[in-house]
Structures are given as C-alpha cells and as structure tokens.
Amino acid sequence: DIVMTQSPDSLAVSLGERATINCKSSQSLFYSSKNKNYLAWYQQKPGQPPKLLIYWASTRESGVPDRFSGSGSGTDFTLTISSLQAEDVAVYYCQHYYSTPHTFGQGTKLEI
C-alpha cells in the first residue's frame, strides 16, 4: 500500500500570509501513460464533510478560490494558500488515487 505523509501536523499562519502544506508518498504517483499525478487535496472544516480543492495534483476544483494552488510531481507535493483568509482555518488532507487502497495523509491542522 502507498503511504501518504503530510507535514507539518499543524501550522499557524497570520492572516494574509502564505501557508504551505507538504505531502509525500511512499511511491511515485505519476502515471506516465496519462502524464498525470494521481493526487488530490481536501479541506475539512469542523462538523462538515471534506471538500475537494485540487485534483491531478494541480487542477483546482470549480469554485475553489485561486489563492489555493497545488504543485509537485512523483512523490512530493505541496498545497499552497497564497494569502490566508479567516475562512481557511480547517484541516487539510492529501489523498492518492494511483491504486487501491486510496489512502489519505494524516491531515494538517491550519490555524491563525
């Protein structure tokens, strides 16, 4: 099974500042025949289901603000929030879908 490891476990960032969350997979998530990285990012606020932010490592889901961006390839990925807003306080998860089981990272709690 592919293991997903996020860092840090928690992060405090000031309003308007940049937040960076890292995700490392135990195997490459790049599928060469498709030229895609099989990685997604989610945001979960308290009491709510997770919300898809990014898929294919860098494609923003419709309606997601452009301050959210995803980057990386192979085994190392990053979620960046360019200018933190109060409503971005949440737990963020990465998830691979390269093969089953589709495992998640342990989550990163983002606070102000």
Partner 1 sequence: DVQLVESGGGLVKPGGSLRLSCAASGITFSNAWMSWVRQAPGKGLEWVGRIKDKTEGETRDYAAPVKGRFTISRDDSKNTLYLQMSSLKTEDTAVYYCTTAHYGYFDHWGQGTLVTVSS
State which residue, 83 or 99, has the beta carbon closest to partner 1. 99
**Is the Cβ–Cβ distance between 81 and 89 less than 8 Å?**
no
1 DSSP assignment: -
Smallest gap, in angstroms, from Cβ of residue 55 to partner 1? 4
**Toward partner 1, which CB reaches closer, 17 or 111?**
111
Mind spelling out the 3-state secondary structure of 35-103? CEECEEEEEECCCCCCEEEEECCCEECCCCCCCEEEEEECCEEEEEECCCCHHHCEEEEEEECCCCCCC
Interacting residues with partner 1 (CB under 8 A)? 1, 38, 40, 42, 44, 49-52, 55, 61, 93, 95, 97-98, 100-107
**What minimum distance in Å lies between the beta carbon of 15 and partner 1?**
26
The distance of closest approach from Cβ of residue 31 to partner 1 in the complex, given in angstroms and rounded to an integer, is 11
16 vs 49, beta carbon nearer partner 1: 49
